Structure 1
Amino acid sequence: MFATYVTVTILASVFTGIAAVTYLMGHDYPKAQADMKRVPHSWLPKLGAALAAGSLGLLAGFAVPLIGTLAAAGLVLYFVGALVAHLRVGSRKLVGWAVFFATSIAALAVNLAYHW
């Protein structure tokens, strides 16, 4: 179980960390997504910071399990919000969202199974 916990947590942290970097550096992809979902560009740094906090929180969970659990739960909520943003504008391009959501759910599940 420990190997699964470590693997899934690191994978989720890497995925969300890469997404956070693209948001924080002002890459064109998050800007295009924000335009499609009618989200102001001024939100991008805040969304990137939320992803970065989740990514780092998952890693901090190796030392303090409660932080990892809360970070994983926060990422799940973040991606539920992303789904709402997609559906609000009628977007059905959900493959990318599904990958991030599934990884966040998996991170939360293995965290809960391993620690609690």
Structure 2
Amino acid sequence: MGFKFEDLRVWKLSIDLSTEVNTLIKTFPSEEKFILATQIQRAADSVALNIAEGSTGQSNAEFKKFLGYSIRSGIEVVSCLYLGQKRKIISDSDFKKLYNSYEELIIKLQALKNSI
């Protein structure tokens, strides 16, 4: 693999979780396709994209800044999960699974950011 981010476990996990979010939003009702569905997918994708952007050819300070953006995007996904659960379009089991996965990812992102 040729780019630094490709070796990062947090990037790989964020890609996997973004794929899970994509699978989930395919079950959303049509009235949510351009509202919550697009918001949660953009936030999930943003986690991986910011890790990649910050890791390549940047200073440590710049990488930490982009990891902060990734963390915020992960928090946005969690907030979208709550909205979907309240609107009864995300089941309790899907909510818990993704919530726990994003909590784990955010903890790992914080640890990486703090280690730099």
Instruction: Give the TM interval when normalised to the shorter protein.
Output: 0.5 to 0.7
Count of equivalent residues: 100
RMSD between aligned alpha carbons? 3.0
Q: Which has the higher contact order (CA 8 A, sep 6+)?
A: 1
Tell me if structure 2 keeps the 8 A contact 1:19–1:48: no
Distance 2:95 2:54 in 1: 24
Return the offset for 1:12: 2.7
2:58 matches 1:66? no
C-alpha contact 1:59 1:68 (8 A) present in aligned 2 = no
Give the unaligned 5+ runs of structure 1.
Answer: 1-5, 24-28
- The residue aligned with 1:87 is 86
- Distance in structure 1 (CA, Å) of the matches to 2:95 and 2:12: 15
Tell me the CA shift for residue 67 of structure 1: 0.9
Residues of 2 paired with 1:66 and 1:12: CA distance? 19
Find runs of 4+ consecutive structure 1 residues off by over 4 angstroms.
Answer: none
Return the alpha-carbon distance in structure 2 between the equivalents of residues 14 and 103 of structure 1: 12
Matches within 5 A, 1:1-116: 6-7=8-9, 9-19=10-20, 22=22, 30-32=25-27, 34-35=28-29, 39-43=31-35, 44-63=37-56, 64-89=63-88, 93-116=91-114
Q: Deviations over 1:43-93 (max 9, x none)?
A: 3344433322222123334341221222122222222222232123386x2
Q: Normalising to structure 1: TM-score of the pair? A: 0.61
- Distance change (3 Å), C-alpha of 1:103 and 1:12: farther
Q: Distance in 2 between matches of 1:66 and 1:89?
A: 35
SS at match of 1:42: coil
Structure 1 residues 89, 111: closer, same or farther in 2, change over 3 A?
A: closer
Q: Which ranges of structure 2 fall in alignment gaps of 5 or more residues?
A: 1-7, 57-62
Mapped to 2, the partners of 1:56 and 1:90 lie a distance apart of 26
Partner Cα distance (1:87, 1:46) in 2 = 16
